[in-house]
Chains A and B, each alone.
Chain A
Amino acid sequence: MRKLVLSLFALAVMAAPTFAGEYNKKVDIGQKAPDFSGIQAAEPNGETTSLTLGDIKEDVVVVVFLANHCPVVTAYEDRIYDFVQDYKGKPVKLVAIAVSGSRTKKMDDLAAIKKRAVKDKKFNYVYGYDESQDVGRAYGATNTPQFFVLDKDRNIRYMGAMDDSQNESKVNKTYVRDAVDALLAGKTIEVKETRPVGCGIQYDRR
């Protein structure tokens, strides 16, 4: 009887429909991250490249949705830069994607990204622009900046804000760093999801 109950339980868990996250209407923790490929992007030096999830070899991937025009993104740019610097030499790769709609396209598109890459030299990561906004839709991205930490199997293990304060001096909890550290150490992630904070992403009506 116990075996039956246990196996039924296991079956139920495995067959359970995928619910969306607490703060995300499209994807959930533990779910396979939506694929993306051939996204037009800028190298840190401003040269053109393309972004494909399947090409990334590192164990841990951090996908962050950004937008040039957003003051909250600006507030996080140094922190994202520092994160990339701190994890150099570790099997972690961060990539950024802008999925801005027509309203802020001019400020956020690839030309603008390239210009800033060259001028400000703040991007130590590949930064793409998805004009179709499909990647944003697939990830259920609602804000910029919004972070998704993926494990070796490319399952989403953390999503939401980078930390608990827009003001760097007031940060107490570093959610993204903690999640990445936990994955690298083979430990469980304590905080798996937080509400993303930042500018809203406007998706153009199709």
Chain B
Amino acid sequence: MNADLRRLLWAFSGLALLTSGCSNELGPSTTSVLPTPPEVLAPEGPRAEQVAASEDVEKAGTPEETQKPDATDKKPNQPRETDQENPKPAEASVLLKTAASALLTTLQPDTPVAIMTTSIKDFQDRISHNKPGIKYTVVDGWATYCPPCKENFPHLVEMHKKFADKGLRVISVSFDDAESPDDIKKALAFLNEKKAAFENYVFSDGMAETYEFFDVNAIPAVFVYGADGKEVKRFTLDDPDNQFTYDEVEEYLKGLLAGKAK
């Protein structure tokens, strides 16, 4: 009874260690929490090792368990697999794995995406407040009525895949009519189809106001903001002699996140 209770307590403290490094805002698309690094999730991670090591101590101290051949062979830093041959202690490994798989599910790109209606003012607030680790935010303006926008949208998804773990927050802003349920439905369907597993917004202020806020005549357009929410670069179609390409955006972000001044 004592040994079981102690193992349970260790399992819980292991869980506490696991969740303390994450933001408490888990959820698709409205979080800028970085994916949990694989070594934290995997059974052979350091925390699992910690639990395994403690169990060794427990086993050694319990007369009935010293008889088990596995216990005596085990060294403190053995991978988790060895432990799994021995059904005890089941509680620790099950709890740890359940927690790990729960996190993974919410952060998987296959989860349905969302689009949020927000005011411009609120949006400005949001991009001015970033979690530690976020260096820059990229915002892509698109709309369901803009074929070139839709054709190029995968570039944003690609940038999210490539740069999210390098400190880039990725956001899409739809220049659709927030008051048209049909258009929002279409927008969401598109975002789902493209697997836009990041923040997606549409402004309640209106379409014209959206163009005014970003100060562009045409979309697509891409904007880069610093961690303080101030614009550092824009890529637009507004100069006929200098219309941007997504390759340029990616090159720019690569350099920016690598710390090269531009």
B218 and A203 contact, CB distance less than 8 A? no
Q: How large is the interface on A (under 10, 10 to 19, 20 to 34, 35 or more residues)?
A: 20 to 34
Q: A26-B240, A201-B240 are in contact. Are A142 and B145 (CB under 8 A)?
A: no
Residues of B within 8 A of A (CB-CB), count: 15
A25 and B211 contact, CB distance less than 8 A? no
A140 at the interface (CB under 8 A from B): yes
A123-164: contact bitstring with B at CB < 8 Å (1 yes, 0 no)? 000000000010011001111000000000000000000000
Residues of B within 8 A of A133 (CB): 240
Instruction: Please tell me which one of the listed residues A26, A71, A143, A203 contacts residue B217 in the complex, with CB atoms under 8 A apart.
Output: A143
B217 and A23 contact, CB distance less than 8 A? yes
Residues of A within 8 A of B208 (CB): 197
B238 and A202 contact, CB distance less than 8 A? no
B172-210: contact bitstring with A at CB < 8 Å (1 yes, 0 no)? 000000000000000000000000000000000000100
A137 and B212 contact, CB distance less than 8 A? no
Minimum CB–CB distance for A138 against chain B, Å: 9
The A interface is mostly helix, strand or loop, or mixed, namely loop
Instruction: Please tell me which one of the listed residues B211, B218, B219, B241 contacts residue A137 in the complex, with CB atoms under 8 A apart.
Output: B241
Residues of A within 8 A of B39 (CB): none
B9 at the interface (CB under 8 A from A): no
A196 and B217 contact, CB distance less than 8 A? yes
Chain A residues at the B interface, C-beta cutoff of 8 Å: 23, 25-26, 71, 103, 133, 136-137, 140-143, 195-197, 199-203
Given A195-B211, A196-B217, 7 additional A-B pairs, CB 8 A? A23-B217, A133-B240, A142-B218, A200-B217, A200-B218, A203-B240, A203-B243
